Amino acid sequence: MEHKYDFGLVGLGVMGRNFILNVADNGFTAFGNDLDTEKVDALIKEGGNPKKVNATTDAKIFLDALSTPRKIMLLVPAGKVVDIVIENLLPNLDEGDIIIDGGNSFYTDTDRREAYLSKKGINFFGAGVSGGAKGARKGPSIMPGGNREAYRHVKPIFEAVSAKYEGEPCVAYLGPKSAGNYVKMVHNGIEYGLMQLTSEIYDVLKKGGNLTNDELHATYAKWNAGRLQSFLVEITSKIFQQKDDLGDGRLVDKILDKAKQKGTGKWTSQNAMDLGIPVPSIDIAVSMREISALKQERITADQLYERPTVECMDKEKLERLAEESLYFSFIITYAQGLHQLADASKEYGYELDIAVIAKIWRAGCIIRAGLLADIAQAFQADNNLPNLLLSPTFVEKVQSTVNAARKLVSYGAVNGIPLPGLSNSLTYFDAYTSTRLPLNVIQAQRDYFGSHTYERMDREGIFHTEWE
């Protein structure tokens, strides 16, 4: 093939097709590959010009069509499929070619693949892509990490196709090894937390204020025009308006309350425990999806136990408390996720710049929010900031909203409305800002039954007591 293409992409599902068309829209030629003939044909038809966008089911034709060093992105399901695709490509690759995993691969898999391919002279890096199918088409947030020199070859393409925030591309080289996939994993963990919180606030407004779907739409839309401006608040406002095309009423009232998950939230939570970093707002978001799956048991349990009769609150007061509580808990959730990133960077040698990460999340990705501009500024002012709650900029934001969270959590507890994300955010805040916690008793217990020793407040050293 005489005509060589700038960029190759394997996996022409909705995300892959949209991403490759985005590449072509931004001045680069792109060639796709998929085993499914229908997906190949669909891309060629939508691309319109085979010199700009083309595709094939044949791996060798695909590789021969690419300029060198070949820049090949994989948008295929995480796990074994990635390894299978790599093995299929390897026999026809040349030294210096670049493979980019754009899926939600577990970070240790990325480290393994990079080590394996580097021995064969092939550059490999992970690049998390956030924004869903629409983002892939119009501009996602992209989180690449791996070989810095290899990224330089892809940088112009990624900067062209990424979302833009006030003209700045929402993509940046994040660090070596699996830095990109790790950042995307924690991004998704934060996403779990924010989604749980927006759903809880909906629940308390509906049960405690009897807000209709139209009122819920108006409330979330108003919030999205203020300091809670974010993709998730925006789409939630729209969800309440969607009519049910299979029956009467609004669709939201017909959707089964069982939330599924693909694992990235769980990975974030598990790894945070490995690192010893508390992320309870993310932890409970994962747990609530698991509780939601127990639908039949929940129905049975609901019939066994009495619940309080909900005492409705004045709508205006409830909406104010809800807005302040959601803002407070959003800050806490971001703080937890970014704390995990800062600690993981030291543990795994990622060299992450938290301000840069906050910047590339300002547009394109699922957790994009107006709040991220303030977060980026906080970490720019102090790039060694261990936790967002220690930023002078955020002290006032939290101080002015935490009392609303206390009132709403109390209201939920008294009225039997579960607010686990908000409760965990508040508990985390109270614990993190406490000079003294009751863990001295736990240390005494551990020493009592297991001779595990303890430290003292009044002198240096490690101590053990023969307890009476």
Return the closest-CA partner of residue 302 out of 418, 170, 129, 185: 418
The order of strands in the sheet holding 7-10 is 53-56, 30-33, 7-10, 71-74, 98-101, 123-130, 141-146
Largest CA distance in the chain: 87
Backbone angles phi, psi at 256, to 5 degrees: -65, 135
Q: Which positions make up the binding site for substrate? A: 104, 130-132, 187-188, 192, 262, 289, 446, 452
The CA-based dihedral angle spanning residues 246, 250, 254, 260, taken in that order and rounded to the nearest 10 degrees: 110
Annotated binding site: 104, 130-132, 187-188, 192, 262, 289, 446, 452
> Catalytic pick from 114, 177, 191, 397?
191
Which of 184, 266, 359, 397 is catalytic? The answer is 184
Active site (annotated) includes residue 184: yes
Identify the DSSP state of 276: T
Phi (first) and psi of residue 55, to 5 degrees:
-160, 160
Q: What are phi and psi of 258, to 5 degrees?
A: -125, 110
Cβ–Cβ under 8 Å, residues 29 and 6: yes
Provide DSSP, 292-353.
HT-HHHHHHHHHHS--PPP----HHHHHHHHHHHHHHHHHHHHHHHHHHHHHHHHHHT----
CA dihedral 63, 64, 70, 73 (to 10 degrees): -30
Residues marked active site are found at: 184, 191
